[in-house]
Amino acid sequence: MQPKLNFKYERRMAATGDYGEDILNIHTEAAVKRLHSQFKSKYGITTETCPSFITYTMKAIVDGAIALYAQSSNDDDFFLLHGVTSVWALRRMLQYFDSNIQLIQILVAFLKALLSVYIMQGMPALVGNSVLAVSLPSWTDIIEKTMDCGNDEHKYKVVYTCCEADKVYGSPPSQLYRLTAARKTGFIRWPST
């Protein structure tokens, strides 16, 4: 009798085991292509708004990490949260590299790490896509509420990262940045609650 296969377990093992690199390469390439095509078709992003492949890919990774965290059915997932807070550091770090090859390698490595975390968290469903149907508080209100949150440094980091992303990348999808910060500070419920 054949043992019953547990695909969730196999996916997690593949991400960290000997064959994980091949699987992550395939999924990373597919994710980058999907992000690029989504941003072109959904938001009409052109070379004028994102003049280089590096800038465009960085924006896609920032938006992808924030959306993954904000729309995960694992409400306020601690591990996906670090995907959000680390994109700020990633964006700041890129300015110190001149080689496009190095920059692409760094972006791909980050995306692979983000996908690995998502896989290890059980690949939670993404829910709550109706960003526009929600009345969002202003950045001033979100920041003010963040200042009253006490010792939770993760709230500060998520709000700061989302606010900075809004300043750097603006709209679209500005609503996603404010939605994420509003969820983290308690203005808006998480998708599955």
pLDDT tens profile 116-133: 888 778 888 888 655 556
Does 141 score more than 90 pLDDT? Answer: yes
Q: Are 159 and 184 in contact (CB under 8 A)?
A: yes
How far, CA to CA in Å, does 182 sit from each of 9, 15, 68, 177, 191? 34, 32, 15, 9, 12
Q: What is the pTM of this model?
A: 0.75
Rounded to an integer, what distance in angstroms lies between the CA atom of residue 127 and that of residue 105?
30
Does 2 score more than 50 pLDDT? Answer: no
pLDDT of amino acid 69: 93
How far, CA to CA in Å, does 47 sit from each of 19, 83, 97? 36, 26, 22
Does 162 score more than 80 pLDDT? Answer: yes
Quick one: DSSP state of residue 135?
P
Task: Please give the structure tokens belonging to residue 162.
Answer: 């989302």
Rounded to an integer, what distance in angstroms lies between the CA atom of residue 161 and that of residue 180?
10
- Please list the alpha-helical segments (H only) found in the chain: 7-16, 20-43, 53-70, 78-94, 100-120, 139-147, 153-169, 174-185
pLDDT band at 161 (very low <50, low <70, confident <90, very high): very high
47/184: higher pLDDT: 184
Q: Which of 80, 108, 118, 79 is nearest to 21 (CA)?
A: 108
pLDDT tens profile 11-42: 664 555 555 566 666 666 666 666 666 656 65
pLDDT of amino acid 64: 87
| Domain ranges within the chain, ordered by starting residue | 7-185
pLDDT of amino acid 7: 55
Does 91 score more than 50 pLDDT? Answer: yes
How far, CA to CA in Å, does 193 sit from each of 64, 73, 76, 148, 183? 22, 9, 11, 23, 11
